[in-house]
Amino acid sequence: MPSLNSPIANSNFSLPPLRLGIAGLGTVGMGVISLLKDNNKLISTRCGRDIIITAVSARDVAKNRGLDLSSIRFEADPQALVKADDVDVILELIGGSEGTAKELVDSAIIAGKPVVTANKALLAHHGATLSKLAAMHNSSVAFEAAVAGGIPLIKTLREGLGANAYTRVEGILNGTCNYILTTMERTGSDFEQTLKVAQELGYAEADPSFDVDGMDTAHKLAIISALAFGTTPNMKNIYVEGIRDISLQDINFAKELGYRIKLLGITALNQTGIEQRVHPCMVPLTSPLATVDDAFNAVSIEGNYVGRVFLEGRGAGAKATASAVVADVMDIARLGSMPALFPANSALMHGAEVETQLPEVLFSSMDKVESGYYLRLGVLDRSGVLSKVAGAFAKANISVRSLIQHAHKPGEPVQIVLITHKTNEAAMREALETITGLEPVISKPKMIRIEE
């Protein structure tokens, strides 16, 4: 097996080796090093040149990471990678939208060195600015690993299906949430119990808020929307709702009704603009998304010529993410550069005025979103309750498709579940406000959108 920092012996390639500087030796960084070691010959053959690691930077130089890194130069300051003459490409695998990671990416772009990153937060918050900076300095930022792990989603949107006008992209983009929802259904445990198990197994962080409250998915959706619709990544334009309030009752009712609950990120065109939303959804058992379990991710893409394309795979983990990072490195090795971050800004890469901005896009408010709705009510067992609820729906011009009320002992509180036909969010919230105020309703109603 060749050394981590040397080309293949007796290489006949005419191009010089592509030399990497890696900042960050956590799970992803070490996964990249392992992959380049294990598949060295295959990767170099496919690229037509050797790919070697000349320097790395990490906070703890002495830490035992399970691989012999003694042949690679360590730099205490990641900025040294940018200044080094023997580093052609910077791999930013530190993470975070600010601080060291952003400073490193900015410096590398200004120095004209291509950047490969898995940093979704950085792109979601600073993608437009980085696009402009890269255009000004004839550099590039590659980010296949930032969304959906090992699934080649960025390349599919930008290249494989790039001739299509996209109408909708939706998917399961967070493995932690999908694992929790899958396990709740499989074991009958509640959210808190399942979360604790997920933390013990390493699927969830000690502070799981970023995942379970939907922000991780929202960061990824900002990037997807920019690629699909030319939007400027802006978290303020994304509706975000997590899975903390999903109960075992809801999961069981969903199954009874022919659905499964998934946390989806959705960006789509409707009559009033572009939707960008993250929230739990009920998806039919016949949907490919309903079959995606545990920590896997999946994305459905709809284009005006290709129709629907479905991608599924590992959305996180050292190997899957490293696969995506190295795929970007291989593109740079073959092509010498990468496209602009986002297609709508590609004019900047071809001599247009650098002041050019991403186009203004009309975003659709959440009130305009249309879907079916699941509504679960805890009510007192009294005559006339259903007629009052029906009256609230009728006032908001909402049609009820089906109703479930299980047998119960007379006088005991009862759970009622209603499924509506497609309506808009504004109408549903109007009905929900009325229903919540009804005297027989004894608990906060639970609403989940249905994506057919």
Split at pLDDT 50, 70, 90, the class of 419 is very high
Nearest C-alpha neighbor of 417 from the set 247, 268, 290: 247
Query: Does the structure show a pLDDT above 70 at 388?
Result: yes
Split at pLDDT 50, 70, 90, the class of 431 is very high
**Sign of the CA dihedral 169, 170, 176, 182?**
negative
Query: Does the structure show a pLDDT above 70 at 6?
Result: no
Q: Give the range with max mean pLDDT: 318-322, 352-356, 361-365.
A: 318-322
Split at pLDDT 50, 70, 90, the class of 94 is very high
Split at pLDDT 50, 70, 90, the class of 341 is low
Query: Does the structure show a pLDDT above 90 at 256?
Result: yes
Domain spans in the chain, listed from the N-terminal domain onward: 18-149+319-350, 153-315, 369-450
Q: What is the mean pLDDT of residues 49-61?
A: 90
Query: Does the structure show a pLDDT above 60 at 7?
Result: no
Q: What is the mean pLDDT of residues 330-354?
A: 59
pLDDT digits (tens, 9 = 90+) for 166-218: 999 999 999 999 999 999 999 999 999 999 999 988 888 889 999 999 999 99
Spatial neighbors of 33 by CB under 8 A, at least 6 apart, are 4, 22, 25, 53, 56, 67, 69
Query: Does the structure show a pLDDT above 50 at 344?
Result: no
Q: What is the mean pLDDT of residues 260-266?
A: 98
Q: What is the mean pLDDT of residues 269-293?
A: 94
Split at pLDDT 50, 70, 90, the class of 339 is low
Query: Does the structure show a pLDDT above 50 at 2?
Result: no
Q: Which two tokens stand for residue 100?
A: 């060291």
Q: Supply the CATH classification number for the domain 369-450.
A: 3.30.70.260
Confidence (pLDDT) at 357: 41
Beta bridge partners of 300: 170, 310
| Residue 92, number of CB atoms within 10 A of its CB | 27
Within 13 Å of residue 321, how many CA atoms lie on the same side as its CB? 22
Q: What is the pTM of this model?
A: 0.88
In degrees, rounded to 5, the angle at the alpha carbon of residue 345 between the alpha carbons of residues 341 and 351 is: 110
Query: Does the structure show a pLDDT above 80 at 337?
Result: no
Query: Does the structure show a pLDDT above 50 at 348?
Result: no
Q: Return the CA Rg of the chain.
A: 25
Split at pLDDT 50, 70, 90, the class of 356 is very low
| Residue 337, number of CB atoms within 10 A of its CB | 13
Query: Does the structure show a pLDDT above 80 at 277?
Result: yes
- Three-class DSSP category at 6: coil
Query: Does the structure show a pLDDT above 90 at 110?
Result: yes
Q: Which two tokens stand for residue 202?
A: 């390493």
Confidence (pLDDT) at 260: 97
- Three-class DSSP category at 141: strand
Nearest C-alpha neighbor of 169 from the set 11, 32, 311, 6: 311
Confidence (pLDDT) at 345: 44
The enclosing H or E element of 433 equals helix 425-436
CA 18 to mean position of chain CA atoms: 29
Confidence (pLDDT) at 15: 85
Catalytic residues, by residue number, are 220
Confidence (pLDDT) at 181: 97
Least confident of 56-60, 178-182, 333-337, 346-350: 346-350
**CATH superfamily membership of 153-315:** Dihydrodipicolinate Reductase; domain 2 (3.30.360.10)
Query: Does the structure show a pLDDT above 60 at 140?
Result: yes
Burial of 190 (0-12, 13-18, 19+ CB in 10 A): middle
Confidence (pLDDT) at 11: 57
Q: What is the mean pLDDT of residues 103-120?
A: 94
Query: Does the structure show a pLDDT above 60 at 47?
Result: yes
Spatial neighbors of 316 by CB under 8 A, at least 6 apart, are 149, 175, 295, 297
Confidence (pLDDT) at 355: 37
CB 30 within 8 A of CB 56: no
Nearest C-alpha neighbor of 419 from the set 381, 441, 448: 448
Least confident of 200-209, 333-342, 367-376: 333-342
Confidence (pLDDT) at 300: 97
Query: Does the structure show a pLDDT above 60 at 304?
Result: yes
Split at pLDDT 50, 70, 90, the class of 347 is very low
Query: Does the structure show a pLDDT above 80 at 295?
Result: yes
Q: What is the mean pLDDT of residues 108-131?
A: 92
pLDDT digits (tens, 9 = 90+) for 150-165: 999 999 999 999 999 9
Query: Does the structure show a pLDDT above 50 at 250?
Result: yes
Confidence (pLDDT) at 117: 94
The percentage of residues in the chain with a pLDDT greater than 90, rounded to a whole number, is: 65
Q: What is the mean pLDDT of residues 96-110?
A: 93
Fold (topology level) of 18-149+319-350: Rossmann fold (3.40.50)
- Three-class DSSP category at 117: strand
Q: Which two tokens stand for residue 317?
A: 């983990």
